[in-house]
Every structure is written in structure tokens, then in C-alpha cells.
Amino acid sequence: MRIFNIFCGLLLLCIPAPLLAQDGFSVHGYLSQAFSKSYKHQIFGIPQEGTSDYRNLAIQFRYDTKTKNSFVVQFSHRRQGYSPAMSTEQDVLLDWAFVEHRFNNIISAKFGKIQLPFGIYNEIRDVGTLLPFYHLPYAPYGEGTYTSETVSGLTMSANIFTPGDWEIRADIYGGEWDWKGYVILKNPINGAEITITDTPTIKQAIGGRLMLSPPFAELTVGVSGYTAIGEGGYSFSPEFGLGRERLSVVNFTVDAAVSSASLKSELTRYYFKENNFSATGFYVQTGWQIHPLVQLHGQYTTYYIYDLPVSPFSLEPLDAHYYHDTGLSITLHPTTQIVLRGEFHWNRGFVLDEYYDDYPPDSPPSMQYLIISIATSF
């Protein structure tokens, strides 16, 4: 995977310099910087004493030729406070690197390291000026762990308007990506916590997304998903984890707006074939434009695991209330390119940056956290 990413980046960075001075070349970027603080437990790298080491930064170089081709490279820098996932994070990452060809006004193809077409937010997951909260809903998007913004492979896309002005957007893709995560264990001798980084690979992935928008309302409904093989890392290790696993994911989307109010909701179902367990994630997000420069948002997210394998394997599988989060935010837009946001979350679950096996599966620990952020783009 790393060799593939390096190849894509070098290929696109070898665009001759004279081309960069021509029409069609553009540079875009975004920055989100936050202060965050948690109460009771550390979550998403947010410590109880607070931290300002919390940011997303990216810069994108794009060149559109006159022959229906585009070349895109994006680099990013990400910090997530005291999250154990930061131990494997490089200061600068190759975020995207792909070539796009537009066959006509309807159909296009991309090859390289490409945004993964999944749900409402996955392709803009770090663009703070477009989001109602600093983080996306944990289900289905994760937060820096066991999730991916990109797929290394090929995508085909179509954008169709029917005679009745219905808009149909369809994507299909194939390829692979890496997950990034960690496991926190307890030393049985001295009780010290041990963090093990986890880097499984999701390979042989085939997936797609279909979105439908009618002409008579601000409404989009859709379905997306994929099937793939998970292997490697701690998660899919035959000694410690699930072993090589066939996983399938399907996601249902509703995105609606009426006047000054908006509603977004997604239901996601996960199925792990070899170990015969599943999970369901759901969120609902509401928004209200109370002033041309001010928005309020509320969000509820839940994630539930069914028949989770446990160790020793002679025990019965468990059902776990894995994650519940309720959040409120207020967003100010002093200019078109600057966003100020304050948010507070009430959380209950096992997505902690600490050892948590002392809690029963049906009674997870609770905590709260706040994030104050500024975002800009150009």
C-alpha cells in the first residue's frame, strides 16, 4: 500500500513545471484548529487538562487539461491531541493522488488514491467550513481509527438528470485501503496500560454509492456500501483478533432541508461473515439557521454490536452498547471563508483512550467533552 501511494504521488508531482503556470492549474486548502477538553475520561485524544494540539490542515494542487483530464495531489497534516493513533501518524501525509478522465458530461473515471465515495460526509470529512461539528458522527465515519477517507484503486462515476429533472449520482469502485487503530491492554503483573498500534489492511474491496434527488424538494436519499477482505494487524490477527475476515457494510442516507431547518441521518449495518457477528450504527443530525450568520446543530449517534466474540472463546458472544453520543453546537460565519464553532458532547461508550474491560458490556462509562474551533478554506 505504501509503495502504491508513493508511486501515485511521484507520478503526479512529475507534471512538468511549465504546466503549473498555465490556465487550469489551481491550489486549494483548508485549516481547522481547535482547543478541546474532556471530563472524567480521555476520548478522541482529548485529555482532561485540555489541549490545543488539535488540527486538520491540507493543501491541494489540481491541474485541469483541455483534453478532459485532471491531475490532483493533496497533502495533509493532522493532530488529534493525546490519541494513541498519533504514534503512527506522519507529520505530512499523501492524502489524495489521482488522475481523472471525463468521458463526457455524465461519466468520469479516477485512478490512484481517491476519495472513497461513502455516505454524505466521507469525501469532505476534514473540511471544517462545511461541517456542523468538528468530528463526523462516529457511526459510520469513525474518528481517525478503523476508517478510511480514500481507496487506492479505480472509481467510475456518473451524474445523470432524467427528463423529469431527477438527479441520479452513481459511483462504483474497487481497490484497497489501510485502517489505523490501537488496542489498550493491561499488564497482568503491574497493572500498567500497554498500547498496541493496529494497522490492518482492507483489500479486494468492491463497492458503490447511489444517490437520488427529486426536483421538487431539497432532499437526497441514497445507499452505499462495500464488501472486502480484512487481514493483518491486531484486529485480523489469527492469534489475537478475528483472523482473516470477510466484512460487508451497507449504509442508508437521508439528507433534507426545509427553509431554515435541515436534517441528515444515516443507518449503517456491518456484518463479519467468518466470526458471525454484526453491528449497527445510526445518527440523526438536525440544524437550524437562526440568523444569516449563526447556525445551531444537534446530533445523536449510537453504535451497537451484536454477538461479539470474546476470549476465552468458550464463553458466549456478547452484545455491547459500544457508543452513544449526544452533541450540541453553535456555528458562526463571520465571513464566507471563516467558521467559528463551539460544541459540547455527552458520551457513553467504550471508545476511550484507556483500558476499559472493567466495565460490563451493557454499562459503559460516561464522559463529556467540549471543542472550540476555528476553520478556514481558500
Q: What percent of the chain has pLDDT over 90?
A: 60
Bigger pLDDT: 248 vs 357: 248
- Supply the pTM of this predicted model: 0.88
Q: How many CA atoms lie within 13 A of 179 on its CB side?
A: 23
In CATH, what number is assigned to the domain containing residue 146?
2.40.160.10
Q: Which of 208, 150, 201, 206 is nearest to 174 (CA)?
A: 206
Bigger pLDDT: 273 vs 363: 273
Residue 9 has pLDDT above 50, yes or no: no
Residue 99 has pLDDT above 90, yes or no: yes
Count the domains in the chain: 1
**What mean pLDDT do residues 276-303 have?**
96
**What mean pLDDT do residues 363-372 have?**
92
Task: Identify the domain containing residue 151 by its residue range.
Answer: 2-377
Residue 14 has pLDDT above 60, yes or no: no
Q: pLDDT, tens digit, for every residue of 17-60?
A: 454 556 788 998 999 999 999 999 999 999 999 999 999 999 99
- pLDDT of 144 reads 66
Q: pLDDT, tens digit, for every residue of 167-200?
A: 999 999 999 998 887 777 777 777 777 777 778 8
**What DSSP assignment string belongs to 12-55?**
HHTS-HHHHTSTTEEEEEEEEEEEEEEESS-BTTB-TT-EEEEE
357: confidence class by pLDDT, cuts 50, 70, 90:
low
E-only strand ranges, the chain:
25-39, 51-64, 69-80, 93-102, 107-115, 150-161, 167-178, 181-186, 193-198, 201-213, 218-231, 245-258, 261-272, 277-291, 294-308, 318-335, 338-349, 366-377
